[in-house]
Amino acid sequence: MAKKNESENEKPEPVVPDPVVKDKRRIDPETGDVRQPDQAEAVSPEDAAPAEGEELSAEDQALLDQAERDLVAEMRDDMLRAQAELVNFRARVERDRVANREAIIAEVLRSLLPVVDDLDRAEAHGDLVEGAPLTLVAQKLRATFDKYGFVRVGEKGERFDPNIHEAVVQLPSPDATEQTVADVIQIGYKLGDRLVRAAKVAVSVPAE
């Protein structure tokens, strides 16, 4: 009786169904065709992934190769873009460096212009004779200006240009057909494309 009761109390083991795996691959491994989203079917775990050493189909391999080419092309574009940005950055830094250098040189030479003006007036009065100490000073100072590309602007007879000339006085003339520099009152100076000081001039203008 005890054995009977013991067997009656035993419960049958539950039946566990085999796992079902949804095949999400877009390429059918058997036919090589591209599947539509509603064509996915349940496959066994053995069929869900290719067996070890199994070669990809020609279409799968083509898709993989294209993905690799796209990745390489994208990385190459990123590299070229970074190189271009680096070149532009270096060029911008160099432009700023040159501009800052010219600004400093221009400011230093501008501070010397009153001395140069005095030497020009002394030369106009015949005070700068050859071999005199003042003449040597003037020569050295002008050589320094030339070294840094500091050039004079404003000459008698040239066409009036408001970008480099400052008209101090206008002189109507019946012979004038356009505005021209009749006389230079104070020489101007440029450093490269930078105007350090405009030339003060008297302008000859056509008579009305």
Q: What is the pLDDT of residues 155-178, one digit of tens each?
A: 998 999 999 999 999 998 888 889
Structural tokens at position 73? 């092309």
Residue 186 lies in a domain: yes
pLDDT for position 17? 62
Residue 189 lies in a domain: yes
Residue 28 lies in a domain: no
pLDDT for position 206? 85
Residue 23 lies in a domain: no
Does the pTM of the predicted model rise above 0.75?
Answer: no
Least-confidence region, from 12-21, 40-49, 111-120, 186-195: 40-49
| pLDDT band (50, 70, 90) for residue 26 | low
Q: What is the mean pLDDT of residues 52-75?
A: 80
Chain mean pLDDT for the chain: 80
In the chain, the number of structural domains is 1
Domain of residue 178, CATH code: 2.30.22.10
Q: Strands 165-173 and 199-206, how do they pair? A: parallel
Least-confidence region, from 61-65, 170-174, 198-202: 61-65
Higher-confidence residue of 35 and 146: namely 146
pLDDT for residue 40 is more than 50: no
Least-confidence region, from 34-48, 70-84, 97-111, 132-146: 34-48
For residue 170, the enclosing domain spans: 151-208
Residue 188 lies in a domain: yes
pLDDT for residue 20 is more than 60: no
Q: Which of 108, 111, 199, 131 is nearest to 161 (CA)?
A: 199
Residue 180's H or E segment, with its range, is strand 180-186
Radius of gyration of the CA atoms of the chain, in A: 45
| pLDDT band (50, 70, 90) for residue 42 | very low
Higher-confidence residue of 5 and 200: namely 200
Residue 182 lies in a domain: yes
Q: Which neighbouring-strand residues pair with 206? A: 173
Residue 33 lies in a domain: no
pLDDT for position 84? 92
Structural tokens at position 173? 């003339």
pLDDT for residue 138 is more than 50: yes
Sorted by sequence, the CB contacts under 8 Å of residue 148 that are 6+ apart come out as 105, 109, 191
Residue 9 lies in a domain: no
pLDDT for position 45? 47
